[in-house]
């Protein structure tokens, strides 16, 4: 079975660059205030969702394994 990720956006950090929605349009949406939010709270692990998290200029996106809560991005130091 493929990994499932819990996808979260810290709306207090999000600056509305739209990089995530551009990189993973199926994974992120911008609301009327240009704040990002995940299209769904959990998603199948996908390269474009990881790329979207990595491309966020303010690192507002966190990905964790849905079953264990283990960090996917940003990686734990």
Q: What is the pLDDT of residues 1-49, one digit of tens each?
A: 679 999 999 999 999 999 999 999 999 999 999 999 999 999 999 999 9
How many C-beta atoms lie closer than 10 Å to residue 61's C-beta? Answer: 27
Global confidence as pTM: 0.92
In sequence order, which residues have a C-beta less than 8 Å from that of residue 43 and are 6 or more positions away? 4, 5, 7, 27, 49
């Amino acid at each position: 079975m493929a990994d499932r990720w819990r996808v979260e956006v810290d709306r207090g950090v999000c600056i509305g660059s739209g990089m995530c929605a551009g990189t993973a349009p199926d994974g992120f949406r911008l609301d009327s205030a240009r704040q990002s939010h995940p299209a769904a709270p959990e998603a199948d692990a996908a390269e474009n969702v990881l790329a979207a998290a990595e491309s966020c200029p303010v690192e507002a996106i966190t990905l964790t394994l849905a079953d264990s809560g283990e960090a996917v991005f940003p990686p734990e130091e």
